[in-house]
């Protein structure tokens, strides 16, 4: 009717229904139900962000986003089986065994008697031939969850989810504080709060990027508020949740100055070491390092630049170059981050987010494996910049679930191609929009 406007708050109803559908009623192999429900969710998400401007409605949808995460607390992860390795590690820890000491197969082949460590759980592991790679914050949560529920998979999983749920609330809190501090649009919080990838993958499928992001945001917030000790402690917790934030530390040097940087990194180093101490053993460094080596030299999934290099390798030599290309690409990423650090001329806390976004996207561009939840960090960082290509990426990367829909696992490279052609095209568009070619030419004269 004329004069009537749509109340977009009604869209909370289909969001709840879609969250229930994706959290409780699909399996990893159900590509059509997954992509159709996710696609509708993503469309509603963009619609809400575009037309929500009033503070009361922004607050309402933040509340809805918390409700959606709460609903997923009670769903066993259905799009990822990582939870079984979490429980395996947790059960080892509560029974006095270091999960870094032996491969899972060791306990089965040698009939080691440990409550809950048995063949039924072993056969649910997605990487029983590899040593665990999860750092101490994650391991602590695994152990606590299995201590509370030593024989219940669903009980342990819900406990871990409660921790990540609280981390997500913490992330929303710090996003709001940082947006206010830098005088950025308050509605930007919805790009993270209602993002279906964030909701479904982090709280729904139990990925510890949620903890890493929360502690990273806390670290930046405390820095801009000149609370260096709290910041250092927070970044240490972020690193001890996932190792990735280590790549951001070089960007802190010019912003803190050398003297404060030394003090800051000393605190970070001490806290990280103290967190790792309970897991240290004679085998830790060899086994943890071996897992990281395998990550760069064997695993392949949804890569971009690496797949192009792999194709060249097959044409030139007839075999896969991953064993040499993986580590080489990691070195290129490191050199790119260091170059970006030392060539930086304008260093403020506000443009720190742009530098971190560059670093993580450089890492993912050269990575040999990019799971959907890996995009969660670019999503949160882009809120504080002019770039929105990670949002598009978060909508396209769910296409990779087609790989699990075949009888046996098969990677559909057409989907990978569609994903990255669109993402890189939009990135180029945003770069030319933000820094017009004409203005760059003018500066070069």
Write down the pLDDT at residue 345: 80
Q: Residue 61 belongs to what H/E stretch?
A: helix 55-71
Chain centre distance of CA 67: 21
State mean pLDDT over 157-179: 98
Q: Could you tell me which residues are beta bridge partners of residue 117?
A: 114
Q: For residue 326, what pLDDT band results from cuts at 50, 70 and 90? A: low
Q: What is the DSSP letter of 301?
A: B
Beta bridge partners of 301: 369
Note the pLDDT tens digit of each residue in 175-230. Answer: 999 999 999 999 999 999 999 999 999 999 999 999 999 999 999 999 999 999 99
Residue 401: pLDDT above 80?
A: yes
Q: Is the pLDDT of residue 440 over 50?
A: no
Helix H or strand E encompassing 290: helix 284-297
Residue 21 pLDDT: 98
User: What pLDDT is attached to residue 295?
Assistant: 61
Q: What is the pLDDT of residues 389-399, one digit of tens each?
A: 999 999 999 99
Residue 141 and residue 161: Cα distance in Å, rounded? 10
Look at 346 and 297; give whichever has higher pLDDT. Answer: 346
Question: What tokens were used for 354?
Answer: 């742009």
pLDDT in tens, 34-71: 999 999 999 999 999 999 999 999 999 999 999 999 99
* C-alpha to C-alpha distance for 203 and 344, rounded to whole angstroms: 36
Query: Is the model more confident about 155 or about 339?
Result: 155
CA–CA dist 66, 70 (Å, integer): 6
Q: Flag whether pLDDT at 85 surpasses 70.
A: yes
Q: Look at residue 282 and tell me whether its pLDDT is greater than 80.
A: no
State what percent of residues in the chain have pLDDT above 70.
Answer: 91
Using the predicted structure, report yes or no on whether residue 419 has a pLDDT greater than 90: yes
- Alpha-carbon Rg for the chain, nearest whole angstrom, is 22
Cβ proximity of 264 and 244 under 8 Å: no
What confidence score (pLDDT) does residue 340 get? 87
Lowest mean pLDDT among 142-146, 209-213, 251-255, 307-311: 307-311
- Contact indicator for 73, 165 with CB cutoff of 8 Å: yes
Asked whether residue 384 carries a pLDDT value surpassing 90, the answer given is: yes
Q: CA 265 → CA 317, 392, 416, distances in Å?
A: 44, 35, 39
Contact in structure between 172 and 64 (CB atoms under 8 Å)? no
Residue 99 near residue 132, CB atoms below 8 Å = yes
Q: What pLDDT is stored for residue 439 in this prediction?
A: 43
Measured CA to CA, the distance from residue 423 to residue 114 in angstroms comes to 47
Q: In terms of pLDDT, which residue wins out, 162 or 128? A: 162
Residue ranges of the alpha helices (H) in 79-127? 82-94, 104-109, 119-122
Tokens of 323: 């064993």
Q: By CB neighbour count within 10 A (0-12 exposed, 13-18 middle, 19+ buried), where does 319 fall?
A: exposed
Confidence of residue 437 (pLDDT cuts 50, 70, 90): very low
pLDDT of residue 4 exceeding 60, the answer is: no
Give the confidence band of 249 by pLDDT, cuts at 50, 70, 90.
very high
148 CB-near residues (< 8 Å, 6+ apart): 155, 156, 159
Q: How confident is the model at residue 1 (pLDDT cuts 50, 70, 90)?
A: very low
The reported pLDDT for the residue numbered 408 is 86
**Residue 380 pLDDT:** 98
Q: What is the DSSP string of 164-227?
A: HHHHHHHHHHHHHHHHHHTT--GGGHHHHHT-HHIIIIIIITT-THHHHHHHHHHHHHHHHTT-
* 376 close to 209: Cβ distance less than 8 angstroms: yes
pLDDT the model gives residue 344: 82
Question: For residue 369, what is the DSSP state?
Answer: B
pLDDT at 435 over 80: no
Nearest one of 259, 128, 275 to 215, comparing CA atoms: 275
pTM: 0.93
Given a cut of 90, whether residue 5 has pLDDT beyond it is no
**H/E segment holding residue 280:** none
pLDDT digits (tens, 9 = 90+) for 9-26: 899 999 999 999 999 999
Query: What is the per-residue pLDDT for 313?
Result: 79
pLDDT for 367 beyond 80: yes
H-helix or E-strand spanning residue 339: helix 322-343
pLDDT at 444: 34
Determine the Cα–Cα distance for residues 192 and 212; give it in Å rounded to an integer. Answer: 15
């Amino acid at each position: 009717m004329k004069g009537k406007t749509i109340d977009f708050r009604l869209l909370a109803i289909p969001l709840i229904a879609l969250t229930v559908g994706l959290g409780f009623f699909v399996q990893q192999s159900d590509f059509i139900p997954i992509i159709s429900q996710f696609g509708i969710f993503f469309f509603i998400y963009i619609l809400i962000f575009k037309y929500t401007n009033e503070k009361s409605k922004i607050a309402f949808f933040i509340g809805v986003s918390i409700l959606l995460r709460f609903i997923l607390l009670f769903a066993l992860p259905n799009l990822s089986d990582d939870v079984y390795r979490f429980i395996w590690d947790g059960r080892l820890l509560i029974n006095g065994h270091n999960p870094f000491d032996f491969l899972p197969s060791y306990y089965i082949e040698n009939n080691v008697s440990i409550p809950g460590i048995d063949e039924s759980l072993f056969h649910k592991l997605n990487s029983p031939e590899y040593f665990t790679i999860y750092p101490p914050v994650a391991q602590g949560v695994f152990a606590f969850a299995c201590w509370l529920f030593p024989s219940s998979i669903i009980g342990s999983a819900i406990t871990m989810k409660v921790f990540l749920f609280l981390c997500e609330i913490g992330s929303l809190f710090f996003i709001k504080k940082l947006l206010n501090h830098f005088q950025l649009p308050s509605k930007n919080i919805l790009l993270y709060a209602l993002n279906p990838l964030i909701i479904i993958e982090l709280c729904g499928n139990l990925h510890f990027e949620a903890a890493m992001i929360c502690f990273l945001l806390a670290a930046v917030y405390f820095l801009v508020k000149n609370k260096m000790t709290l910041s250092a402690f927070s970044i240490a917790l972020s690193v001890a949740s996932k190792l990735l934030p280590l790549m951001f530390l070089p960007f802190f040097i010019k912003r803190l100055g050398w003297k404060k940087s030394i003090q800051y990194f000393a605190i970070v180093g001490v806290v990280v070491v103290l967190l790792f101490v309970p897991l240290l053993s004679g085998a830790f460094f060899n086994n943890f390092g071996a897992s990281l080596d395998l990550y760069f030299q064997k695993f392949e999934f949804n890569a971009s630049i690496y797949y192009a290099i792999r194709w060249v390798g097959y044409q030139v030599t007839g075999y896969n170059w991953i064993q040499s290309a993986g580590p080489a690409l990691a070195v290129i990423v490191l050199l790119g981050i260091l170059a970006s650090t030392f060539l930086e001329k304008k260093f403020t806390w506000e443009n720190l987010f742009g530098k971190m976004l560059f670093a993580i996207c450089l890492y993912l561009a050269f990575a040999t494996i990019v799971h959907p939840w890996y995009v969660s960090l670019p999503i949160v960082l882009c809120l504080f910049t002019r770039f929105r290509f990670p949002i598009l990426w978060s909508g396209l990367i769910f296409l990779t679930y087609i790989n699990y829909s075949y009888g046996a696992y098969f990677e559909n490279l057409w989907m990978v191609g569609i994903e990255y052609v669109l993402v890189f095209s939009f990135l180029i568009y945003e770069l030319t929009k933000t820094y017009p070619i004409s203005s760059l030419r003018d500066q070069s004269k």
